[in-house]
Structure 1
Amino acid sequence: MAISGIKKSGGQAGEGLVKNAILIAGPTASGKSALALALAERNGGVIVNTDSMQVYSVLDVLTARPTAAELARVPHFLYGHVHPSTAYSTGAWLRDVMKLIDDGTFFERPVGTSVERPVIFVGGTGLYFRALAEGISEMPAIPQSIRDRWRYELQEQGAAKLHRILLREDSAAGMMLKPTDGQRIARALEVLDASGRSILEWQAAHGRPLIDRASTRFFVIEPDRAELVKRIEARFDRMLEKGALDEVRRLAELGLDPDLPAMKAIGVRELQAAMAGELSFPEAIDRAKIATRQYAKRQATWFRHQLGPEWLRLGPGDRVESTILDRLSSAT
């Protein structure tokens, strides 16, 4: 199958576009990672993580990242490369993808072929897919001293106090945020401090996509709800067997801000509460499974309403892998 990897539009950084990319979205536990792995092995492809929780280290099991054996079967990128102490963002993920493009990471040709490796983006974070396909506004570089200052102020003074500061210095941005949303308030203040411009001005600027939309193939998995619930519950039980409790314990030992994204991974708070004696373990497990089901429902709703007509929707009864292969074959 002739699937090329990158189309270079010039020699400057960030000008490359991924040509003939394959995008696979779906709710958690829908089998999309296994599907991406099968496609990558069949076509000598590479896989790029498009899930906001699987970027974090420590939480290998609890975020359902590919296993070490799976990672060894084909090249995988942007898995577990961010420390949980980092408030990783969509913009940061997009910059990491851009770096992979600019470094020529996807240019390598599989042995015995004359085309670049196919690039498969797979995950459950809708905003990552949107940023990839549509681009997002550029944000200013934030000096570490400024970032540290506002994170310290957030910790010492609290979100409500910083919200009042933001309302005074940038009323429009302040009015867009809840007084309890400490991470976003601190982000707005650090952008204003570093650039002298409101975060709203930066967000209004148009970005650019990193994929060639005309040649990209878009797929979203829409599994049967009842079957998905069974998969979610069985998978969480396997997570516990494979060491999820140890991961949560190691995460707790880092002493991180509970508002950090990694600390909000499903299962972290529930299992921490059980280890602290605040919940029984069976109750914590039930709550984590319920939270996962609710998250999957929100993902499915987002994909249903936010992804456009270019996305091929693969529902119950569809032979997902063969359907995708047929579509890819017809595109060559």
Structure 2
Amino acid sequence: MPVNSPEVSSKAVLIAGPTASGKSALALELAQKTGGVIVNADSMQVYRDLRVITARPTPQEEAAVPHRLYGHVDAAVNFSAGAWEADAGKVLAEAWAQNRLPIFVGGSGLYFKALTRGLSAVPPIPPEIRESVRARLERDGVEALHAELAGRDPASAERLKPRDRTRIARALEVVEATGRSLPDWHREGLPPLLPPGQFNALFLAPDRDELYARIDVRFSAMLESGALEEITRLAARRLDPLLPAMKAHGVPALIRHIRGEITLDEATVIGRADTRHYAKRQFTWFRHQLPEFEWVKLEEAGGWISTVIPGRDRSKRAPNP
């Protein structure tokens, strides 16, 4: 049942952390105690094609408390942080109208930044422009597009690595669609959905060695639970490899295995390593980009939950150095 508290109508809880850190279990515990609604803030768990490989909540967990923004996007869609922010705004308003505590959980730093800082106001890119840029990328190569970008948007070209296919293509799409560079759009930001004072934010920070061990075990568990069959169905769709869903951790390596290029053991090694590297980047990103998140060890998380139930105040500790 929803919490009977006036604070619910203006508050939210944000639970972030690296992959495999235990965020979903923590969010489920808080939602059960408060009658809250869990809102996905993971950029890969939005895709309906990727339930197993992204470790989405199980159907049983989703039935236990309300879950929103999980598996609601097709893998063929180039889903953006801006599109997620628009969806999240609707869910936030719905939760508050029902007097439910919204609990955002995930590991996508840009999604949490959209919530608390806002995003740039880049308009949607017309499909024909996106397709044109992608076709040139395949035909001419990433170096040619980077050279083109240097002439049209020097600032973006300078900060991007010459072989960063995804970001180079994105920068060119924006220039072609709007006549303005990405840095220009970034200066015109949209307001945050959750201004300071409207949320409690946690970054779940387990011991690194323990986390990496959990990542390895979980990858094997996902394979046993049908991840390979899931990716086989995805590969059969022959989607653009630059689409976000096609770059989810473990997906490229498993597709290479499905095509006969590498063994399943080799794909597992690559998938585990890619996931560990991503977790390391998550630690770094949140430390520098979102210092307002309180860092909590896994064993302290239960105590943190009891302090964020509406009606209770807490003092903030500084993030871990």
TM-score by length of 1: 0.85
Which of 215, 227, 231 aligns to 2:214? It is: 231
Aligned to 1:130: 113
Q: Which residue of 1 aligns with 2:85?
A: 94
Across the aligned residues of Structure 1 and Structure 2, the Cα RMSD in angstroms comes to: 2.2
In structure 2, the gaps of 5 or more residues are 315-321
Q: What code does the residue aligned with 2:274 have? A: A
What is the DSSP-based 3-state SS (H/G/I as helix, E as strand, rest coil) of the residue aligned with 1:180?
Answer: coil
Pairing 1:72–2:67 present = no
Which residue identity lines up with residue 46 of structure 2 in the other structure?
Answer: V
- The answer as to whether partners of 1:3 and 1:118 remain within 8 angstroms in 2 is no
Cα–Cα, structure 1 residues 150 and 99, in superposed 2: closer, same or farther, change >3 Å? farther
Choose 209-218 or 141-150, whichever is displaced more.
141-150
Q: Are positions 1:105 and 2:86 aligned together?
A: no
Q: Is the 8 A contact 1:188 1:199 kept in 2?
A: yes
Residue among 74, 80, 104 paired with 1:121: 104
Q: CA contact under 8 A between 2:16 and 2:107: conserved in structure 1?
A: yes
2: distance between equivalents of 1:168 and 1:239?
A: 45
1:321 and 2:302 correspond: yes
Unmatched 5+ stretches in structure 1: 7-18, 110-115
1:84 Cα deviation after fit: 1.8
What SS class does the counterpart of residue 282 from structure 2 fall into? helix
User: TM-score with structure 2 length normalisation?
Assistant: 0.88
Give the whole-Å Cα distance in 2 for the aligned partners of 1:190 and 1:282.
38
Q: Which residue of 2 aligns with 1:284?
A: 267
SS at match of 2:144: helix
CA–CA separation in structure 1 for the residues paired with 2:252 and 2:152: 34
Greater displacement, 233-242 / 139-148 = 139-148
Distance 1:300 1:169, change over 3 A: closer
Q: Say if 1:151 and 1:95 are closer, same or farther in 2 by CA, change over 3 A.
A: farther
| Deviation digits for residues 53-101 of structure 1 (CA, Å, limit 9, x no counterpart) | 1111211000011111211222212111222222222222212223434
Task: Say whether the 8 Å CA contact 1:20–1:212 is kept in structure 2.
Answer: no
The runs of at least 4 aligned residues of structure 1 exceeding 6 Å deviation read none
What is the rounded CA distance, in whole Å, between the counterparts of 2:109 and 2:189 in structure 1?
A: 18
Name the counterpart of 1:243: 226
CA distance in structure 1 between the partners assigned to 2:70 and 2:218 by the alignment: 19
Question: Aligned partner of 2:313: which letter?
Answer: A
Percent identical across equivalent pairs?
A: 48
Counterpart AA for 2:41: T
CA shift, 1:316, in A, is 4.8
